[in-house]
Structure 1
Protein backbone atom coordinates (compact mmCIF):
# COMPACT_ATOMS: atom_id res chain seq x y z
CA UNK A 1 0.00 0.00 0.00
CA UNK A 2 1.32 3.42 -0.95
CA UNK A 3 0.20 6.95 -0.13
CA UNK A 4 1.72 9.84 -2.11
CA UNK A 5 1.09 13.42 -0.96
CA UNK A 6 -2.40 12.55 0.22
CA UNK A 7 -4.62 15.25 1.68
CA UNK A 8 -8.10 14.98 3.16
CA UNK A 9 -10.50 17.85 3.67
CA UNK A 10 -14.06 17.68 4.95
CA UNK A 11 -16.18 20.41 3.39
CA UNK A 12 -14.47 23.77 3.02
CA UNK A 13 -12.49 23.77 6.26
CA UNK A 14 -8.80 23.15 6.81
CA UNK A 15 -7.29 19.85 5.76
CA UNK A 16 -7.68 17.10 8.33
CA UNK A 17 -4.70 15.26 6.80
CA UNK A 18 -1.92 16.97 4.86
CA UNK A 19 0.89 15.66 2.65
CA UNK A 20 0.68 12.06 3.86
CA UNK A 21 3.25 9.85 2.13
CA UNK A 22 4.29 6.33 3.13
CA UNK A 23 4.67 2.77 1.90
CA UNK A 24 3.43 -0.19 3.92
CA UNK A 25 5.21 -3.44 3.25
CA UNK A 26 3.09 -6.56 2.88
CA UNK A 27 3.19 -8.62 6.06
CA UNK A 28 4.42 -5.78 8.28
CA UNK A 29 2.92 -4.62 11.60
CA UNK A 30 2.35 -0.93 12.33
CA UNK A 31 1.05 1.02 15.30
CA UNK A 32 -0.56 4.36 14.45
CA UNK A 33 -0.35 6.78 17.37
CA UNK A 34 -1.18 10.41 18.03
CA UNK A 35 -3.22 12.62 20.32
CA UNK A 36 -7.01 12.71 20.11
CA UNK A 37 -7.93 14.77 17.05
CA UNK A 38 -4.63 14.10 15.28
CA UNK A 39 -6.40 12.41 12.36
CA UNK A 40 -5.93 8.69 13.14
CA UNK A 41 -9.50 7.67 12.36
CA UNK A 42 -9.50 9.73 9.16
CA UNK A 43 -6.31 8.02 8.00
CA UNK A 44 -7.80 4.62 8.78
CA UNK A 45 -10.88 5.49 6.69
CA UNK A 46 -8.58 6.11 3.73
CA UNK A 47 -6.82 2.81 4.38
CA UNK A 48 -10.01 0.76 4.30
CA UNK A 49 -11.54 2.73 1.40
CA UNK A 50 -14.42 4.28 3.33
CA UNK A 51 -13.21 7.73 2.29
CA UNK A 52 -11.54 9.08 -0.83
CA UNK A 53 -8.80 11.67 -0.43
CA UNK A 54 -9.18 15.27 -1.52
CA UNK A 55 -5.84 15.03 -3.29
CA UNK A 56 -2.91 12.69 -3.78
CA UNK A 57 -2.49 9.07 -4.83
CA UNK A 58 -3.38 5.86 -2.96
CA UNK A 59 -2.27 2.53 -4.42
CA UNK A 60 -3.75 -0.64 -2.95
CA UNK A 61 -3.06 -4.18 -4.12
CA UNK A 62 -1.20 -2.70 -7.07
CA UNK A 63 -4.06 -0.50 -8.26
CA UNK A 64 -5.01 3.17 -8.00
CA UNK A 65 -7.72 3.23 -5.34
CA UNK A 66 -8.55 6.91 -5.96
CA UNK A 67 -9.66 6.57 -9.58
CA UNK A 68 -11.05 3.05 -9.22
CA UNK A 69 -14.73 2.78 -10.28
CA UNK A 70 -17.04 2.58 -7.28
CA UNK A 71 -18.43 -0.69 -8.58
CA UNK A 72 -15.07 -2.34 -7.88
CA UNK A 73 -14.66 -1.04 -4.33
CA UNK A 74 -16.73 -3.74 -2.55
CA UNK A 75 -14.46 -6.49 -3.90
CA UNK A 76 -11.39 -4.65 -2.63
CA UNK A 77 -12.97 -3.97 0.75
CA UNK A 78 -13.53 -7.69 1.28
CA UNK A 79 -9.75 -8.08 1.27
CA UNK A 80 -9.48 -5.66 4.22
CA UNK A 81 -10.53 -6.51 7.77
CA UNK A 82 -11.71 -3.58 9.88
CA UNK A 83 -12.16 -3.26 13.64
CA UNK A 84 -14.25 -0.13 14.19
CA UNK A 85 -14.00 1.93 17.35
CA UNK A 86 -17.81 1.84 17.64
CA UNK A 87 -17.95 -1.92 16.84
CA UNK A 88 -20.73 -1.71 14.18
CA UNK A 89 -22.16 -5.11 14.97
CA UNK A 90 -25.45 -6.07 13.30
CA UNK A 91 -27.91 -5.68 16.21
CA UNK A 92 -30.40 -8.39 15.22
CA UNK A 93 -27.69 -11.03 14.71
CA UNK A 94 -26.13 -13.19 17.43
CA UNK A 95 -22.44 -13.07 18.23
CA UNK A 96 -22.07 -16.26 16.19
CA UNK A 97 -23.81 -14.81 13.14
CA UNK A 98 -21.94 -11.50 13.35
CA UNK A 99 -18.64 -13.37 13.27
CA UNK A 100 -19.82 -15.67 10.46
CA UNK A 101 -21.02 -12.74 8.33
CA UNK A 102 -17.79 -12.16 6.32
CA UNK A 103 -17.57 -15.86 5.46
CA UNK A 104 -21.18 -15.92 4.28
CA UNK A 105 -20.69 -12.78 2.21
CA UNK A 106 -17.67 -14.46 0.60
CA UNK A 107 -19.89 -17.43 -0.32
CA UNK A 108 -18.40 -20.06 1.99
CA UNK A 109 -20.65 -23.13 2.41
CA UNK A 110 -22.39 -23.33 5.78
CA UNK A 111 -20.76 -26.66 6.60
CA UNK A 112 -17.34 -25.00 6.35
CA UNK A 113 -18.29 -22.03 8.53
CA UNK A 114 -18.97 -23.79 11.84
CA UNK A 115 -15.40 -24.70 12.83
CA UNK A 116 -13.70 -21.32 12.19
CA UNK A 117 -16.52 -19.45 13.96
CA UNK A 118 -16.34 -21.80 16.95
CA UNK A 119 -12.55 -21.37 17.10
CA UNK A 120 -12.84 -17.57 16.93
CA UNK A 121 -15.43 -17.49 19.72
CA UNK A 122 -13.17 -19.62 21.91
CA UNK A 123 -10.12 -17.49 21.13
CA UNK A 124 -11.80 -14.27 22.23
CA UNK A 125 -13.31 -15.95 25.29
CA UNK A 126 -16.94 -15.89 24.17
CA UNK A 127 -17.65 -19.57 23.61
CA UNK A 128 -20.54 -19.40 26.07
CA UNK A 129 -22.00 -16.25 24.49
CA UNK A 130 -22.42 -17.46 20.92
CA UNK A 131 -26.21 -16.96 20.90
CA UNK A 132 -26.14 -13.52 22.57
CA UNK A 133 -27.15 -10.45 20.59
CA UNK A 134 -25.02 -7.28 20.81
CA UNK A 135 -27.44 -5.45 23.12
CA UNK A 136 -26.93 -8.11 25.79
CA UNK A 137 -23.12 -8.01 25.57
CA UNK A 138 -20.85 -5.68 27.52
CA UNK A 139 -18.71 -3.15 25.68
CA UNK A 140 -15.67 -5.39 26.00
CA UNK A 141 -17.59 -8.41 24.72
CA UNK A 142 -18.86 -6.43 21.74
CA UNK A 143 -15.29 -5.36 21.03
CA UNK A 144 -14.16 -8.98 21.00
CA UNK A 145 -16.96 -10.00 18.63
CA UNK A 146 -15.99 -7.14 16.32
CA UNK A 147 -12.36 -8.26 16.33
CA UNK A 148 -13.28 -11.89 15.67
CA UNK A 149 -15.45 -10.78 12.73
CA UNK A 150 -12.62 -8.69 11.29
CA UNK A 151 -9.99 -11.44 11.38
CA UNK A 152 -11.97 -14.59 10.64
CA UNK A 153 -11.51 -14.30 6.89
CA UNK A 154 -7.72 -13.85 7.18
CA UNK A 155 -7.74 -10.49 5.35
CA UNK A 156 -4.72 -9.26 3.41
CA UNK A 157 -4.82 -6.00 5.38
CA UNK A 158 -6.22 -5.55 8.90
CA UNK A 159 -7.06 -2.05 10.15
CA UNK A 160 -8.01 -1.68 13.83
CA UNK A 161 -9.14 1.52 15.56
CA UNK A 162 -8.36 1.36 19.31
CA UNK A 163 -9.06 -2.41 19.45
CA UNK A 164 -8.02 -2.80 23.10
CA UNK A 165 -9.83 0.26 24.44
CA UNK A 166 -12.70 -1.64 26.07
CA UNK A 167 -11.00 -4.76 27.40
CA UNK A 168 -8.89 -5.56 30.44
CA UNK A 169 -5.08 -5.84 30.17
CA UNK A 170 -5.09 -9.66 29.99
CA UNK A 171 -7.57 -9.67 27.11
CA UNK A 172 -5.66 -6.81 25.43
CA UNK A 173 -2.54 -9.02 25.44
CA UNK A 174 -4.56 -11.90 24.00
CA UNK A 175 -6.02 -9.76 21.21
CA UNK A 176 -2.66 -8.28 20.27
CA UNK A 177 -1.30 -11.83 20.16
CA UNK A 178 -4.16 -12.70 17.78
CA UNK A 179 -3.20 -9.79 15.52
CA UNK A 180 0.43 -10.84 15.68
CA UNK A 181 -0.45 -14.42 14.72
CA UNK A 182 -2.45 -13.16 11.76
CA UNK A 183 0.45 -10.92 10.81
CA UNK A 184 2.82 -13.90 10.79
CA UNK A 185 0.54 -15.52 8.21
CA UNK A 186 1.19 -12.54 5.91
CA UNK A 187 -1.48 -10.00 6.81
CA UNK A 188 -0.42 -6.36 6.96
CA UNK A 189 -1.67 -4.98 10.30
CA UNK A 190 -2.27 -1.33 11.21
CA UNK A 191 -3.44 -0.70 14.79
CA UNK A 192 -4.40 2.80 15.92
CA UNK A 193 -3.91 3.19 19.65
CA UNK A 194 -3.36 5.64 22.49
CA UNK A 195 -1.66 2.90 24.53
CA UNK A 196 2.05 3.26 23.81
CA UNK A 197 2.79 0.22 25.98
CA UNK A 198 1.39 -1.95 23.18
CA UNK A 199 4.34 -1.01 20.96
CA UNK A 200 6.74 -3.14 22.99
CA UNK A 201 4.53 -6.24 22.79
CA UNK A 202 4.99 -6.96 19.07
CA UNK A 203 8.53 -7.72 17.98
CA UNK A 204 9.48 -5.78 14.87
CA UNK A 205 6.42 -3.51 14.91
CA UNK A 206 6.90 -0.04 13.46
CA UNK A 207 5.36 3.21 14.69
CA UNK A 208 3.55 5.85 12.66
CA UNK A 209 2.75 9.04 14.58
CA UNK A 210 0.22 11.62 13.50
CA UNK A 211 0.42 15.17 14.82
CA UNK A 212 -2.15 17.73 13.68
CA UNK A 213 -2.82 15.86 10.47
CA UNK A 214 0.78 15.27 9.49
CA UNK A 215 2.66 12.00 9.64
CA UNK A 216 5.89 11.66 11.57
CA UNK A 217 8.07 8.59 11.10
CA UNK A 218 10.50 8.26 14.02
CA UNK A 219 12.32 5.30 12.44
CA UNK A 220 12.59 6.56 8.88
CA UNK A 221 11.28 3.18 7.73
CA UNK A 222 7.93 4.07 6.20
CA UNK A 223 9.25 5.51 2.97
CA UNK A 224 11.96 2.89 2.66
CA UNK A 225 10.67 -0.28 4.35
CA UNK A 226 12.79 -3.40 4.70
CA UNK A 227 12.48 -5.81 1.77
CA UNK A 228 8.82 -6.92 2.01
CA UNK A 229 7.19 -10.13 0.87
CA UNK A 230 5.29 -8.00 -1.64
CA UNK A 231 3.28 -4.83 -1.76
CA UNK A 232 0.04 -4.51 0.19
Structure 2
Protein backbone atom coordinates (compact mmCIF):
# COMPACT_ATOMS: atom_id res chain seq x y z
CA UNK A 1 0.00 0.00 0.00
CA UNK A 2 1.47 3.36 -0.98
CA UNK A 3 1.54 6.36 1.27
CA UNK A 4 -1.85 8.07 1.18
CA UNK A 5 -1.69 11.80 0.54
CA UNK A 6 -2.74 13.60 3.70
CA UNK A 7 -3.45 10.41 5.62
CA UNK A 8 -2.76 10.23 9.34
CA UNK A 9 -2.89 6.44 9.82
CA UNK A 10 -1.95 3.63 7.45
CA UNK A 11 -2.04 -0.10 8.16
CA UNK A 12 -0.46 -2.37 5.53
CA UNK A 13 -0.96 -6.14 5.92
CA UNK A 14 -0.86 -5.86 9.70
CA UNK A 15 -1.02 -8.96 11.87
CA UNK A 16 -1.21 -9.19 15.65
CA UNK A 17 -0.81 -12.17 17.92
CA UNK A 18 -0.34 -12.41 21.68
CA UNK A 19 2.48 -14.78 22.56
CA UNK A 20 2.28 -18.01 20.59
CA UNK A 21 -1.51 -17.92 20.15
CA UNK A 22 -3.08 -17.63 16.70
CA UNK A 23 -3.34 -14.16 15.19
CA UNK A 24 -6.17 -12.00 16.50
CA UNK A 25 -5.71 -9.63 13.53
CA UNK A 26 -4.63 -10.84 10.09
CA UNK A 27 -3.64 -8.94 6.92
CA UNK A 28 -5.36 -5.72 7.98
CA UNK A 29 -4.91 -2.80 5.57
CA UNK A 30 -6.67 0.58 5.65
CA UNK A 31 -6.06 4.33 5.61
CA UNK A 32 -7.55 6.97 7.91
CA UNK A 33 -7.77 10.60 6.82
CA UNK A 34 -7.96 13.78 8.93
CA UNK A 35 -11.46 14.97 9.76
CA UNK A 36 -13.24 11.69 9.01
CA UNK A 37 -15.60 9.76 11.30
CA UNK A 38 -15.23 5.98 11.40
CA UNK A 39 -17.18 3.22 13.08
CA UNK A 40 -15.23 0.03 13.75
CA UNK A 41 -17.71 -2.78 14.13
CA UNK A 42 -17.87 -6.55 14.31
CA UNK A 43 -19.06 -9.37 16.56
CA UNK A 44 -17.66 -9.89 20.04
CA UNK A 45 -14.19 -11.39 19.65
CA UNK A 46 -13.71 -9.99 16.14
CA UNK A 47 -10.62 -8.05 17.24
CA UNK A 48 -11.99 -4.51 17.73
CA UNK A 49 -10.21 -3.85 21.03
CA UNK A 50 -6.93 -5.23 19.66
CA UNK A 51 -7.26 -2.92 16.65
CA UNK A 52 -7.81 0.07 18.93
CA UNK A 53 -4.74 -0.86 21.00
CA UNK A 54 -2.69 -0.57 17.83
CA UNK A 55 -4.34 2.77 17.03
CA UNK A 56 -3.54 4.32 20.40
CA UNK A 57 -0.05 2.83 20.55
CA UNK A 58 -0.65 0.47 23.47
CA UNK A 59 0.46 -2.46 21.33
CA UNK A 60 2.88 -3.00 18.48
CA UNK A 61 1.91 -5.28 15.59
CA UNK A 62 3.48 -8.70 15.16
CA UNK A 63 3.97 -8.05 11.44
CA UNK A 64 3.12 -5.58 8.70
CA UNK A 65 3.53 -1.81 8.52
CA UNK A 66 1.84 0.82 10.67
CA UNK A 67 2.40 4.51 9.95
CA UNK A 68 0.92 7.21 12.18
CA UNK A 69 1.32 10.95 11.61
CA UNK A 70 4.18 10.15 9.21
CA UNK A 71 6.01 7.87 11.65
CA UNK A 72 6.85 4.23 11.04
CA UNK A 73 5.58 2.76 14.31
CA UNK A 74 7.58 -0.45 13.91
CA UNK A 75 10.94 1.32 13.93
CA UNK A 76 10.00 4.37 16.05
CA UNK A 77 12.29 4.59 19.09
CA UNK A 78 10.43 3.90 22.33
CA UNK A 79 11.35 7.32 23.73
CA UNK A 80 9.39 8.97 20.91
CA UNK A 81 6.16 7.07 21.62
CA UNK A 82 4.84 9.71 24.08
CA UNK A 83 5.02 12.41 21.39
CA UNK A 84 2.78 10.31 19.12
CA UNK A 85 0.41 9.35 21.95
CA UNK A 86 -0.13 13.02 22.82
CA UNK A 87 -1.81 13.42 19.44
CA UNK A 88 -4.38 10.75 20.28
CA UNK A 89 -7.29 10.92 22.75
CA UNK A 90 -8.67 7.67 24.14
CA UNK A 91 -12.08 6.93 25.67
CA UNK A 92 -12.18 3.55 27.41
CA UNK A 93 -15.28 1.45 27.91
CA UNK A 94 -14.68 1.33 31.67
CA UNK A 95 -14.06 5.13 31.86
CA UNK A 96 -10.79 4.83 33.90
CA UNK A 97 -11.46 8.00 35.86
CA UNK A 98 -9.26 8.70 38.89
CA UNK A 99 -11.63 7.99 41.82
CA UNK A 100 -10.18 10.49 44.31
CA UNK A 101 -10.34 13.39 41.81
CA UNK A 102 -13.50 15.35 41.09
CA UNK A 103 -14.82 15.92 37.55
CA UNK A 104 -12.85 19.16 37.11
CA UNK A 105 -9.57 17.59 38.19
CA UNK A 106 -10.08 14.45 36.09
CA UNK A 107 -10.59 16.59 33.00
CA UNK A 108 -7.66 18.84 33.91
CA UNK A 109 -5.27 15.91 34.35
CA UNK A 110 -3.79 15.88 30.80
CA UNK A 111 -3.16 19.63 30.93
CA UNK A 112 -1.43 19.37 34.30
CA UNK A 113 0.72 16.51 33.04
CA UNK A 114 1.64 18.73 30.09
CA UNK A 115 2.88 21.35 32.57
CA UNK A 116 0.19 24.02 32.15
CA UNK A 117 -0.38 26.42 35.04
CA UNK A 118 -3.61 26.50 37.06
CA UNK A 119 -4.41 29.88 35.50
CA UNK A 120 -4.08 28.39 32.00
CA UNK A 121 -6.15 25.34 32.96
CA UNK A 122 -9.17 27.00 34.56
CA UNK A 123 -11.03 28.33 31.50
CA UNK A 124 -10.54 25.40 29.09
CA UNK A 125 -11.67 22.92 31.74
CA UNK A 126 -14.70 25.07 32.62
CA UNK A 127 -15.55 25.35 28.91
CA UNK A 128 -15.21 21.59 28.50
CA UNK A 129 -17.47 20.91 31.49
CA UNK A 130 -20.10 23.16 29.91
CA UNK A 131 -19.65 21.47 26.51
CA UNK A 132 -20.42 18.03 27.98
CA UNK A 133 -23.28 19.43 30.09
CA UNK A 134 -21.61 18.95 33.47
CA UNK A 135 -20.82 22.52 34.50
CA UNK A 136 -22.95 22.00 37.64
CA UNK A 137 -21.06 18.81 38.53
CA UNK A 138 -17.48 20.09 38.51
CA UNK A 139 -16.91 19.16 42.17
CA UNK A 140 -18.51 15.71 41.96
CA UNK A 141 -16.36 12.61 42.33
CA UNK A 142 -16.79 9.62 39.97
CA UNK A 143 -18.60 7.49 42.58
CA UNK A 144 -21.40 10.08 42.75
CA UNK A 145 -21.81 10.39 38.97
CA UNK A 146 -24.11 8.27 36.81
CA UNK A 147 -22.65 6.07 34.09
CA UNK A 148 -23.51 8.63 31.44
CA UNK A 149 -21.95 11.44 33.46
CA UNK A 150 -18.78 9.43 34.02
CA UNK A 151 -18.55 8.73 30.31
CA UNK A 152 -18.93 12.43 29.51
CA UNK A 153 -16.12 13.26 31.95
CA UNK A 154 -13.99 10.60 30.25
CA UNK A 155 -14.74 12.12 26.83
CA UNK A 156 -13.92 15.62 28.07
CA UNK A 157 -10.62 14.39 29.53
CA UNK A 158 -9.77 12.64 26.25
CA UNK A 159 -10.32 15.76 24.12
CA UNK A 160 -9.22 18.59 26.45
CA UNK A 161 -5.77 18.65 24.82
CA UNK A 162 -7.30 18.83 21.30
CA UNK A 163 -6.05 15.50 19.93
CA UNK A 164 -5.78 14.98 16.20
CA UNK A 165 -7.44 11.60 16.55
CA UNK A 166 -9.97 10.30 19.09
CA UNK A 167 -10.31 6.55 19.66
CA UNK A 168 -13.32 5.30 21.65
CA UNK A 169 -13.85 1.68 22.72
CA UNK A 170 -17.57 0.85 23.03
CA UNK A 171 -18.25 4.32 24.51
CA UNK A 172 -22.02 3.76 24.60
CA UNK A 173 -21.92 0.24 26.01
CA UNK A 174 -22.76 1.25 29.59
CA UNK A 175 -25.42 3.89 28.96
CA UNK A 176 -29.07 3.91 27.84
CA UNK A 177 -30.02 4.57 24.18
CA UNK A 178 -30.87 8.24 24.76
CA UNK A 179 -27.50 8.90 26.40
CA UNK A 180 -25.78 6.91 23.66
CA UNK A 181 -27.11 9.35 21.06
CA UNK A 182 -26.00 12.33 23.19
CA UNK A 183 -22.49 10.90 23.42
CA UNK A 184 -22.38 10.42 19.66
CA UNK A 185 -23.37 14.06 19.20
CA UNK A 186 -20.34 15.06 21.29
CA UNK A 187 -18.10 12.97 19.04
CA UNK A 188 -19.70 14.58 15.98
CA UNK A 189 -19.06 18.06 17.37
CA UNK A 190 -15.39 17.22 17.89
CA UNK A 191 -15.23 15.72 14.41
CA UNK A 192 -16.63 18.94 12.92
CA UNK A 193 -13.52 20.69 14.22
CA UNK A 194 -11.37 18.37 12.13
CA UNK A 195 -10.49 15.61 14.60
CA UNK A 196 -10.50 12.10 13.16
CA UNK A 197 -12.87 9.97 15.25
CA UNK A 198 -12.82 6.16 15.49
CA UNK A 199 -15.65 4.60 17.51
CA UNK A 200 -15.64 0.85 18.10
CA UNK A 201 -19.12 -0.55 18.67
CA UNK A 202 -21.06 -3.78 18.29
CA UNK A 203 -24.35 -1.81 18.24
CA UNK A 204 -25.43 -1.76 14.58
CA UNK A 205 -28.20 0.74 15.39
CA UNK A 206 -25.60 3.41 16.11
CA UNK A 207 -24.11 3.14 12.65
CA UNK A 208 -27.05 5.03 11.14
CA UNK A 209 -26.88 7.87 13.68
CA UNK A 210 -23.94 9.63 12.04
CA UNK A 211 -24.82 10.14 8.35
CA UNK A 212 -21.28 11.04 7.16
CA UNK A 213 -19.59 8.18 8.99
CA UNK A 214 -17.61 5.39 7.36
CA UNK A 215 -17.79 1.78 8.50
CA UNK A 216 -14.93 -0.67 8.93
CA UNK A 217 -16.07 -4.22 9.71
CA UNK A 218 -13.90 -6.80 11.41
CA UNK A 219 -14.74 -10.46 10.98
CA UNK A 220 -12.55 -12.97 12.86
CA UNK A 221 -9.59 -10.61 12.80
CA UNK A 222 -9.91 -9.58 9.17
CA UNK A 223 -11.14 -6.25 7.86
CA UNK A 224 -13.95 -7.17 5.49
CA UNK A 225 -15.19 -3.70 4.59
CA UNK A 226 -12.44 -1.04 4.78
CA UNK A 227 -14.65 1.76 3.40
CA UNK A 228 -12.73 4.46 5.25
CA UNK A 229 -9.97 4.82 2.65
CA UNK A 230 -11.52 7.43 0.38
CA UNK A 231 -13.62 10.01 2.24
CA UNK A 232 -12.28 13.36 3.43
CA UNK A 233 -14.98 15.52 5.04
CA UNK A 234 -14.45 19.29 5.43
CA UNK A 235 -13.51 21.01 8.65
CA UNK A 236 -16.51 22.42 10.52
CA UNK A 237 -17.25 24.24 13.73
CA UNK A 238 -19.12 22.92 16.76
CA UNK A 239 -17.00 22.81 19.92
CA UNK A 240 -15.61 25.47 22.29
CA UNK A 241 -12.19 26.78 21.27
TM-score using structure 1 length: 0.91
Among candidates 214, 218, 222, match of residue 228 of structure 2: 222
Superposed CA RMSD: 1.7
Instruction: Report the Cα distance in structure 1 between the residues aligned to 2:233 and 2:127, rounded to whole angstroms.
Output: 30
What does residue 137 of structure 2 align with? 129
Q: How is 1:29-48 mapped onto 2 (pairs within 5 angstroms)? A: 29-48=37-56
* 1:86-122 per-position Cα deviation (integer Å, ceiling 9, x unaligned): 1111222111111011122223332222222122223
Question: Which of 93, 96, 101 is the equivalent residue of 2:104?
Answer: 96
Q: Which residue pairs with 2:77 in the alignment? A: 69
Pairs within 5 Å for 1:1-232: 1-217=9-225, 221-223=227-229, 225-226=230-231
Change (3 A) 1:61 1:214: same
The alignment partner of 1:87 has SS state of coil
Q: Aligned partners of 2:155, 2:232: CA distance in 1, in Å?
A: 29
**Runs of 5+ unmatched residues, structure 1:** none
CA drift at 1:132: 2.1
Deviates more, 1:86-95 or 1:36-45: 86-95
Deviations 1:134-156 (A, max 9, x none): 23333332222111111122210
Distance 1:108 1:169 in 2: 37
Higher relative contact order (CA 8 A, sep 6+): 1
Distance in 1 of aligned mates of 2:209 and 2:160: 22
Query: Compared with structure 1, are the counterparts of its residues 203 and 228 closer, same or farther at alpha carbon in structure 2 (3 Å cutoff)?
Result: closer
CA 1:166–1:123 in 2, change beyond 3 Å: closer, same or farther?
farther
TM-score (norm 2): 0.88
State how many pairs are aligned: 226
For the residue of structure 2 that corresponds to 1:164, the secondary structure is: coil
